[in-house]
């Protein structure tokens, strides 16, 4: 067994112990190390997380400048990973700045600690983040959440115990669906956040509750019109009511009789045009009546088929 070529070792001799599944403690330690890395490092630029920090719809943290670099046009941008790697990390969740929310951390100015709870070494010294209610250091050891749209960060314990509907920092209203856990490892929370993103997309909104670019603004109006059509009384006969191309009834505005004659489809415009034309006819008739003079008309007589009653100007000849 001197590995001098004189003997060939078998697998049993080389592998002394079979592979074992990691214990619960080892799994928790691995998850803790991953959480510490995610709390301190931006996955796009691989640099330390420094404010301003933003979060996507599933609670992942990024440097805002890395998101801005990713959104710039071009294949590859200096300062971050390749666009393909960034797309794989983001999974299509970030298409604009409206898809992220800027985090507002409470900074502990007296003590600077590592997110794991231990003090920072001089080479890795940075600001510490705490919950403004419980004063606990925010990190992998404390479950943390933030509120949408304001972005203030609290410990989950504080939000759960207070059970309010307004932010404790800025007094802005929020709902239970807009409480976003930060870097959660629970499958239930991840599924809830994914379902929330799909629901907001159907409503034309982004993660920050702002309108998505290019969303249809009249989707709610169309649904309201459909509900109104469904709620029509059974006795009404919609086949007898004229409607336009969008299905809305035009029976509320009467169409004048001369609308078809003047070629105007709009009822109000057609009635106004008919009124103006009638006034012009009246003015013409009035001008004709005002222009006639009885003294001049008496000098002339109408042709009466050979009558002798003629005036002095037409005597002796006739006007054809």
Q: Which two tokens stand for residue 3?
A: 């590995």
Given a contact cutoff of 8 angstroms between Cβ atoms, the answer to whether 70 and 120 are in contact is no
Q: Higher model confidence: residue 272 or residue 241?
A: 272
Query: Rounded to 5 degrees, what are φ and ψ at 163?
Result: 50, 55
Q: 130 near 106, Cβ under 8 Å? A: yes
Q: What would the pLDDT profile of 193-209 be if each residue is shown by its tens digit?
A: 999 999 999 999 999 99
Average pLDDT, the chain: 77
Q: Residue written as tokens 């003629």?
A: 310
Q: Tell me the per-residue pLDDT of 213-245, one tens digit each, with 9 for 90 and over.
A: 876 554 555 555 555 555 554 444 444 444 454
* pTM of the entire predicted model: 0.59
Residue 70 burial class via C-beta count within 10 angstroms: exposed 0-12, middle 13-18, buried 19 and up: buried
Helix, strand or coil, per DSSP, at residue 203: coil
Q: Is the peptide bond before 285 cis (omega within 30 degrees of 0)?
A: no
pLDDT category of residue 170 using cuts at 50, 70 and 90: very high
What are the structural domains, with CATH classification, of the chain?
A: 26-202 (3.30.40.10)
| pLDDT beyond 70 at 15 | yes
**For residue 256, what pLDDT band results from cuts at 50, 70 and 90?**
very low
Does the pLDDT of residue 123 top 60, yes or no? no
Contact 36, 140 (CB under 8 A): yes
Q: Indicate whether 110 pLDDT > 90.
A: no
Lowest mean pLDDT among 77-81, 95-99, 166-170, 309-313: 309-313
Out of 107-111, 193-197, 249-253, 259-263, the most confident range is: 193-197
Whole-angstrom distance, CA of residue 155 vs CA of residue 179: 11
- Integer distance in angstroms from the first to the last C-alpha of the chain? 148
The pLDDT value recorded for residue 13 is: 77
Query: d(Cα 270, Cα 293) in Å, to the nearest integer?
Result: 38
Least confident interval from 60-69, 83-92, 106-115, 234-243: 234-243
Higher pLDDT pick, 269 / 161: 161
Instruction: Say yes or no to pLDDT of 309 above 80.
Output: no
**Res. 95 pLDDT band, cuts 50 70 90:** very high
Closest CA to 147 of 136, 139, 130, 159: 159
Q: How far apart are CA 35 and CA 40, in angstroms?
A: 9
């Amino acid at each position: 067994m001197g590995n001098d070529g004189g003997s060939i070792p078998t697998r049993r001799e080389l592998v002394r112990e079979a592979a074992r599944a990691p214990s619960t403690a080892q799994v928790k330690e691995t998850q803790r190390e991953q959480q510490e890395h995610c709390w301190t490092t931006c996955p796009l630029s691989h640099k330390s997380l420094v404010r301003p920090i933003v979060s996507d719809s599933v609670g992942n943290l990024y440097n805002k400048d890395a998101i801005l670099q990713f959104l710039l046009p071009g294949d590859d941008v200096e300062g971050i990973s390749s666009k393909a790697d960034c797309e794989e990390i983001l999974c299509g969740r970030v298409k604009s700045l409206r898809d992220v929310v800027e985090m507002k951390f409470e900074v502990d100015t007296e003590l600077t600690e590592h997110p794991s709870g231990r003090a920072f070494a001089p080479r890795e010294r940075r600001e510490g983040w705490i919950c403004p209610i419980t004063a606990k250091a925010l990190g992998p050891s404390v479950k943390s959440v933030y509120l949408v749209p304001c972005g203030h960060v609290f410990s989950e314990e504080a939000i759960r115990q207070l059970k309010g509907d307004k932010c404790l920092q800025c007094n802005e209203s929020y709902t239970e669906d807009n409480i976003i856990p930060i870097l959660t490892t629970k499958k239930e929370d991840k599924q809830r956040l994914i379902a929330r993103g799909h629901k907001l997309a159907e409503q034309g909104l982004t993660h920050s509750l702002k309108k998505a670019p290019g969303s249809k603004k009249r989707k709610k109006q169309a649904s309201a019109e459909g509900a109104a059509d469904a709620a029509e009384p059974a006795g009404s006969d919609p086949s007898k009511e004229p409607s336009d191309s969008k299905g809305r009834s035009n029976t509320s505005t009467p169409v004048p009789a001369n609308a078809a004659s003047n070629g105007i489809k709009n009822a109000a415009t057609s009635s106004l045009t008919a009124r103006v034309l009638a006034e012009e006819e009246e003015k013409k008739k009035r001008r004709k009546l005002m222009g006639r003079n009885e003294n001049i008309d008496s000098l002339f007589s109408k042709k009466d088929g050979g009558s002798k009653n003629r005036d002095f100007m037409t005597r002796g000849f006739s006007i054809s």
